[in-house]
Chain A
Amino acid sequence: MTRRQLSYRAAAAAVVASLAVSALAQIAPSERRSGYADLSPETKAMQDDDTANPGMLSVLDGEALWNAKAGAVQLACADCHGKAEESMKGVAARYPAFDTARGQPVDLEQRINICRAEHQKTSAYKAEDKDLLALSAYVGRQSRAMPITAGSDERLKPFIAKGEKLFTERQGQLNLSCAQCHDERWGKHLGSSLIPQAHPTGYPIYRLEWQSVGSLQRRLRNCTSGMRAQPFDYGALENVELELFLMVRARGMPLETPAVRP
């Protein structure tokens, strides 16, 4: 065998190896599982029963806020949108969605704040405000059990690609990427905790560790600081792009809002 033939063989082997790696890197649709599947029986029972799920306290707050008049014009969400059970059905399943005026995607919490500023003529909620989470939990609840449909708008394409890049890029002092844990090592353990596939199927979630409801952005920032990287600010486009990519990655999986997680 000549030297040249050998190097061709080596190159071919390298190509095969890299294909194997990329095939391994992404989770096959049939392999996808919600974090719910790995909960303890007690936590599953808590999520399944609306009178035991602490996220429902937030949903009830959200329902009251939906019907409460607010702002300079004294408008309630219900005055424009009517019954949330009808008008908000499936909405959370397709967020983050493209906002034409801003030329970029916005997530559900941002949409609620935009609505407050533009239509109710009042101040935006701060990130992780109890009332903001309550409204997004209430809106999210209307899509429970519906499949995730986010990302079908053509204009979202570059933002999804950006989100994917953020997901697969190494960052932080630990030099880790999201994909290294959630695509390649799900089901294994990080310390004592099980590594989930990171499908955002139940946000805002009631996290037992937080003892409160929290948004997907809070979770992302949590994970980022765990990698010893600088978390993106609340509301930063990067966070929304990541949210968008994760929702597209989980497309077709049913929403569980408000989910309970350990």
Chain B
Amino acid sequence: MARALINVPKTAKRGQIIEIKSLISHIMETGFRRTETGQIIPRNILTELLCTYNGAEIFRATMYPAVAANPFVTFFTVAKESGTIVFKWTGDRGFEQTETASITVEG
């Protein structure tokens, strides 16, 4: 399993704009590189990051071979209600990983 770091504020005021950061370890092998003997190194990249907030999709990113290793994705959303934000990465070779973070919304 890949190492992931999620940064979601623990608490926020209702209606507040919050920044969400995610970092995951992945080699993001492009599929264009060759070994010393000339063989193509097979592509192995993350293809998608999907974020849901209490089940509703709030962010989706599609990734391609030009994305650097260990993709760092950050975006903003509005804190509407307490609950969980789920991050799901999918990729080549059946890669799938899910991380969750909880947030308490006050006021």
Contact = CB atoms under 8 A, between A and B. Distances in A.
A57 B74 CA distance: 17
Contacts of B6: 51
A133 to B, nearest CB: 12
A57 to B, nearest CB: 4
Contact of B21 (A52, A60, A211): A52
Contact of A51 (B21, B25, B28): B21
A260 B101 CA distance: 26
Given A57-B70, A211-B70, A212-B69, A52 B3 contact: no
Contacts of A51: 5-7, 21, 23
Nearest to B8: A51
A260 to B, nearest CB: 11
Nearest to B26: A57
Q: Chain B: interface secondary structure?
A: strand
B5 A57 contact: yes
Contacts of B68: 208, 211
Contact of A52 (B7, B25, B28): B7
Which bracket fits the contact residues of B?
A: 10 to 19
Most chain B Cβ neighbours within 10 Å, of A49, A51, A208, A211: A51
B69 A52 contact: no
A178 B102 CA distance: 50
Contact of B3 (A46, A50, A57, A211): A57
B76 interface: no
Contacts of B7: 49, 51-52
A60 B3 contact: yes
A52 B4 CA distance: 10
Contacts of B69: 211-212
Interface string B35-69: 00000000000000000000000000000000011
Interface in A54-87: 54, 56-57, 60-61
B99 to A, nearest CB: 12
Nearest to A59: B3
27 contacts: A46-B72, A49-B7, A50-B5, A51-B5, A51-B6, A51-B23, A52-B21, A52-B72, A54-B25, A54-B72, A56-B5, A56-B23, A57-B3, A57-B5, A57-B23, A57-B24, A57-B25, A57-B70, A60-B3, A60-B5, A61-B3, A61-B25, A211-B28, A211-B68, A211-B69, A211-B70, A212-B69
The 7 closest A-B pairs by CB, nearest first: A51-B7, A211-B69, A57-B25, A54-B70, A57-B3, A51-B5, A60-B3
